[in-house]
């Protein structure tokens, strides 16, 4: 063991933070790394979200159009091929809202619309909030019944 090989135990030391404003000799005196004057050099400053240094911000440069209808009903689409798969796997003859809820198709407040993609071979009674015309035709052609909740 020699004096020049001595080191503190691992984890005993940590890197010191930058000590600013402690005189010119430190190299971090004077303006304390904050530049010269202005709001940025003062304490407690912050810029608002989207501020781009006085340049016209993006959210004001880009034109706006359209609107979001607050009263819109957002349907959860369920196609015939998914109904067929559900009927085959579970052996169901009636599919209602509770069935959709139990199988993770929709949440409690969801509104279901049955759409006509895929083929339906099982005669099943489907109860949903809305149906497309092609879905109603396909369900009735297979010997089932489409009932609106």
- Tell whether pTM > 0.75: no
DSSP per residue, 76-114: EEEEHHHHHHHHHHHT-SEE-HHHHHHTTSS-TT-EEEE
Q: What is the pLDDT of residue 16?
A: 87
Question: pLDDT, tens digit, for every residue of 40-55?
Answer: 899 998 889 999 989 9
Domains with residue ranges and CATH for the chain:
75-148 (3.100.10.10)
Percent with pLDDT over 70 in the chain: 100
Q: What is the pLDDT of residue 92?
A: 84
Question: pLDDT, tens digit, for every residue of 67-95?
Answer: 989 999 999 999 999 999 988 888 888 99
Using the predicted structure, report yes or no on whether residue 5 has a pLDDT greater than 90: yes
């Amino acid at each position: 063991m020699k004096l020049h090989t001595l080191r503190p135990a691992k984890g005993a030391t940590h890197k010191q933070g930058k000590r600013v404003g402690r005189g010119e000799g430190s190299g971090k005196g004077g303006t304390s790394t904050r530049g010269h004057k202005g709001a940025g050099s003062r304490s407690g400053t912050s810029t608002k979200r989207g501020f781009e240094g006085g340049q016209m911000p993006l959210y004001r440069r880009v034109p706006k159009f359209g609107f979001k209808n607050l009263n819109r009903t957002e349907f959860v689409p369920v196609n015939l091929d998914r109904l067929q798969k559900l009927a085959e796997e579970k052996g169901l003859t009636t599919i209602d809202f509770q069935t959709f809820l139990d199988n993770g198709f929709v949440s409690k407040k969801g509104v279901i619309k049955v759409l006509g993609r895929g083929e339906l071979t099982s005669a099943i009674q489907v109860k949903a909030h809305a149906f497309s015309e092609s879905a109603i035709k396909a369900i009735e052609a297979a010997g089932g019944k489409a009932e609106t909740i």
